[in-house]
């Protein structure tokens, strides 16, 4: 496993573009922020698992993400160069980028609070990311977290398998599903209120929608496993 990881890391290092991001293919001529944020998240997970990760690679990617948001490049039309209004894609992409930065200890209080002011543009996944980001910041607001948790509670749906949080983001490269959004809600609630009465229902649903021991997509699998592992660790069930 260690050999495979090191070879994969070398490929990622090789494919990083000069500005610090990654494209979808080795020959890509531009970086994509969502993919770059996802890559940074993956590198951080590898690092936390005990493997050596080149800090310079992560630092360049972080600088690229911060510069992208600080200069509002997500509000510039890539084809016309004109500014456009903030929309759901803008808000949800930012929520994910800010979440990833906060996970690696590079959270940005100003950008996070600014995005909260546009929370009406956030989908359910974006709200889950924002809950976790706010919770990680020293200046996080309990009132803001409470409001976002309330929004997720209102989005809970019930079926025979339990309760889930629906995916309300359509199209794009978000790769969101009801399963992934529900897993993010489990992760968020675990961090801010592990005794929340909705949590057991969401977990029951997550377990119930598996097929042959797994979920439908790789994104569903990764997000669900991370969320459930955090829950088990927080409730001490891993050591019971």
- Predicted TM-score (pTM) of the model is 0.94
Q: What radius of gyration do the chain's Cα atoms show?
A: 18
pLDDT in tens, 146-199: 999 999 999 999 999 999 999 998 765 568 999 999 999 999 999 999 999 999
HEC sequence for 142-156: HHHHHHHHHHHHHCE
pLDDT in tens, 102-152: 999 999 999 999 999 999 999 999 999 999 999 999 766 899 999 999 999
The predicted pLDDT at position 240 comes to 52
Tokens of 199: 């949590």
pLDDT in tens, 43-61: 999 999 999 999 999 999 9
b/e for 50-81, b at 16 or more Cβ within 10 A?
A: eeebeeebbebbbebbbebbeeeebeeeeeee
């Amino acid at each position: 496993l260690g050999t495979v990881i090191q070879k994969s890391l070398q490929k990622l290092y090789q494919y990083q573009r000069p500005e610090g991001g990654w494209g979808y293919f080795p020959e890509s001529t531009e970086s994509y922020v969502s993919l770059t944020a996802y890559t940074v998240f993956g590198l951080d997970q590898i690092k936390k698992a005990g493997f050596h990760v080149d800090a310079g690679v992560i630092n360049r990617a972080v600088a690229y993400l911060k510069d992208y948001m600080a200069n509002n490049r997500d509000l510039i039309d890539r084809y016309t160069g004109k500014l456009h209004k903030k929309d759901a894609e803008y808000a949800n992409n930012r929520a994910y980028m800010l979440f990833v930065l906060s996970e690696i200890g590079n959270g940005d209080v100003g950008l996070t609070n600014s995005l909260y002011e546009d929370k009406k543009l956030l989908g359910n996944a974006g709200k889950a990311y924002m809950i976790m980001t706010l919770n990680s910041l020293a200046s996080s607001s309990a009132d803001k977290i409470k409001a976002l948790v309330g929004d997720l509670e209102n989005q809970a749906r019930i079926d025979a398998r339990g309760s889930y949080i629906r995916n309300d983001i359509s199209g794009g490269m978000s790769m969101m599903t009801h399963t992934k959004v529900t897993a993010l809600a489990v992760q968020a609630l675990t961090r801010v209120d592990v005794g929340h009465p909705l949590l057991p229902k969401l977990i029951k649903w997550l377990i119930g929608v598996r097929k042959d021991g797994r979920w439908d997509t790789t994104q569903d699998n990764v997000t669900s496993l991370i969320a459930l592992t955090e829950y088990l660790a927080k409730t001490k069930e891993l050591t019971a």
